[in-house]
Every structure is written in C-alpha cells, then in structure tokens.
Structure 1
Amino acid sequence: MFVTPAFAQSEGSDAVHLPPQSDAAAAHGETVHIEGEHEGGFPPFNSEFYPSQLLWLAITFGVFYWVLKRVVLPRIGSVLENRRDRIALDLEAAERMKSDADEAHAAYEQELAEARDRAHKIAQEARDSARSDAEKERKRLDADLDEKLDAAQARIAEVKRSALGEVDQIARDVTDAILREVAQIEASAEEIAGAVDASRG
C-alpha cells in the first residue's frame, strides 16, 4: 500500500514528523514511503498527469455531449417548436383579424355611401315636394286672385254702369232744366237723350 502522509516543517529544521502508525499497519508489516516536497509544482500542470486528465476530459465531454444531445437539445427544440407554432398561430390570427377588419371597413364604407345616397335622394325628394307644393299653392293663390280680380272688375263695371246711368239721367235732367229755364225751349225726352249721347260720343 502506497501512502503519502501530510508533513510539516518546523522552523529551522528539515525533520519530518510522521503521525503515529496504527497497530494494524505495524502488525502487517506494511511499508510506508515518505516523500519530501512534491516535485514539478501544481499536479494539473504536471506532464505526468496529462494522460489521465485527457482521458477524464474526453469522458466528461462525451457525457456532456450525450446529456446535451439526449436531454437539453430536445427540450430546447420542443420549446422552439412550441414557440414557432404559437407565433404561427398568432400570425394567422392576426391575419384573420386584419382580413375581418378590412371586410368590416369595406362594409362600413359601402353602408356610408348608401346612406349618403339615400340622404341625397331624400333631400332631393323633399326639395321636389316642397317645390311642387309651392307651385300648387302659387297656382291656387293665382286662381284666387284671378277670381277676386274678376269679381272686382265685374263690380267696378257694374258700379261704372250704374254711375254712367245716373250721369246720363243727371245730364238729361240738367239739359232739360237748362232748355226750359234759360232757353225757354220745350224738348222731348228722346231729343234730350240723343243730344246727351251725341255730346258724350
């Protein structure tokens, strides 16, 4: 059995103090080799240990690669696949919502255009109806005024005829009175009426 015990140096002495050996080791006669200070420095930097270090490096790298390939990478791949599927679904939903929004906007524009056309037609019909009603009212007022004017003209003509009849009678009476009072002439009613009519004509 090869044993490398811990050693300590005392000040000013190169003596090595060994721990007491167990009775069992002494009984079996095991040889204990005592080494001085390590030669070559820090063991990982010692070329004597390079082969074992390379072996353990290869084993560790292999185990790490196996774990990475069998455990880590599949999980990362599944996460990326799930995220890719989720992004694809989100993009599809966004595209569908955009399409729905475009359709809704087109329907809104069409309804707005139809509403404007209806409003224009209603306004035009209202203007036409108001113009027709105003024309009817104007014609009715014109007819009423014509009737009233005709009635007024008829009444004026009647008054005129009545006035002219009275004027003729007054003129006849005045003429008869003048002829009798002034000229001392007796004239018949027919002669006086003829003279009045001749003077008026």
Structure 2
Amino acid sequence: MPQLDFGNPLIIAQIVWLLIIFGALYYMLTAYALPRVEGVLEERAARIAADLEAAQAAKSEADAAMAAHREATAKARAEAQSAIAAAMQQAQAEAAKRSEELNARLARQIDEAEARIATARDQAMGALRQVSAETTTSLVAKLGAKADAKAVDAAVDRALAARAA
C-alpha cells in the first residue's frame, strides 16, 4: 500500500495533519454534537419513563374501575336474584291462596251436588216404592187375584231393604 510507505518524507506531514484533524473533529463532537445527542437521549429516556409511569397509573386506575364495576355488577345481580325470589314467593303465595279458595268453592259445590243427588235418590226411591207397589198390585190383579195393599207394601219394603243392604 503506497499510503503506508514510511520511507516517504511526506508521510510524517500526513500523519500530523491526520492527528490535528482527528483532534479537532473529536473536540467538536465532544463539545457540541455529543452533548446534544446525550440531551436528546436523556430527554427521550425521561419521556419514556414518564409515559411508563402514566401508563402504570392508568392501568391501576382501570383496574380499580374494573373492580368497582365487578362489585356493582355482583351487587346488582344479588339484588335482582332477591327481587326474583321475592316475586316468586309472592306468586306462590297468591297461587296457594287462589288454590285454597278454588278448593273450598269446589268442596261446597260437591257438597251441594251430593245433597241434590241424595235428595233426588230419596225422591226416586220414594217414587220407586210407589211404582213398585202399583206395579205389583196391577200384576196381581192381571193374574186374577185380589192384592192386599198392606201385604204388597210389606213385600216391596222387604225387597227394597234387601237391595239396599
């Protein structure tokens, strides 16, 4: 390489100028450019740190808000469940009351119907006794004999008593 020919008398002048230019460039960089770069880097690092702190504060605030929201949701859910339970209890009580009223009314109607049936049965049995006595008297008369009313009534009473038992 011809640049490293140390036998050449101009090489020493070139090395001196290299050292002078390198020293001047080093001085300008350390005095002017590097402090500005360092200031920008420090400012950037401070801004990043501040942004991280702000993000951390926002995160903790959001976490607190989320916890409050969950708590409010749980409280609202519990209140809704209690309101639903109260409504169900009230509806069941009303249904039980209506059922009791309906059962009482149906029981009255059944008792009245049984009373009417018993009255109708008693009337029918009374009419059956009379019809049976008249039929027996008529049959005996058709057979050519005279029927005794007391004997016919006694026979009909025995037959009805035997059927009732």
Partner of 1:136: 97
1:75 deviation in Å?
Answer: 0.6
Match of 1:97 in 2: 58
Q: Which structure's CA Rg is the greater one?
A: 1
Whole-angstrom distance in 2 between the partners of 1:176 and 1:90: 123
CA distance in 2, matches of 1:196, 1:170: 13
Name the counterpart of 1:182.
145
Show structure 2 runs of 5+ residues with no match. Answer: none
Amino acid at match of 2:123: S
- AA matched with 1:117: A
Query: SS of the counterpart of 1:182?
Result: coil
TM-score of the superposed pair, with normalisation by structure 2? 0.66
**CA distance in 2 between partners of 1:78 and 1:169 (Å):** 132
Q: Please name the residue that 1:156 is paired with.
A: 117
Pair 176,72 (structure 1): closer, same or farther in 2 beyond 3 Å:
same
What TM-score results when the alignment is normalised by the length of structure 1?
A: 0.57
Aligned residue in 2 for 1:66: 27
RMSD (CA atoms): 3.8
Alpha-carbon distance in 1 for matches of 2:57, 2:148: 125
Give the whole-Å Cα distance in 2 for the aligned partners of 1:100 and 1:109: 14
Rounded to whole Å, the distance in 2 between the matches of 1:97 and 1:183 is: 122
Out of 89, 107, 110, the residue aligned to residue 146 of structure 1 is 107
Aligned pair in 2 of structure 1 residues 95, 119: CA closer, same or farther (>3 Å)?
same
Q: Percent same amino acid at aligned positions?
A: 34
Q: CA deviation at 1:50?
A: 5.3
Q: Distance in 2 between matches of 1:89 and 1:83?
A: 10
Q: Is the 1:168–1:196 Cα contact (8 Å) retained in structure 2?
A: no
Q: Does 1:110 align with 2:71?
A: yes
Preserved contact between residue 175 and residue 192 of structure 1 (Cα < 8 Å): yes
- Alpha-carbon distance change, 186 to 47 in structure 1, aligned in 2, over 3 angstroms: closer
Which whole-Å CA distance do the structure 2 matches of 1:184 and 1:55 have between them? 174
| Distance in 1 (alpha carbons) for counterparts of 2:31 and 2:147 | 164
Deviation at 1:146, TM superposition (A): 0.7
Name the structure 2 match of 1:38: none
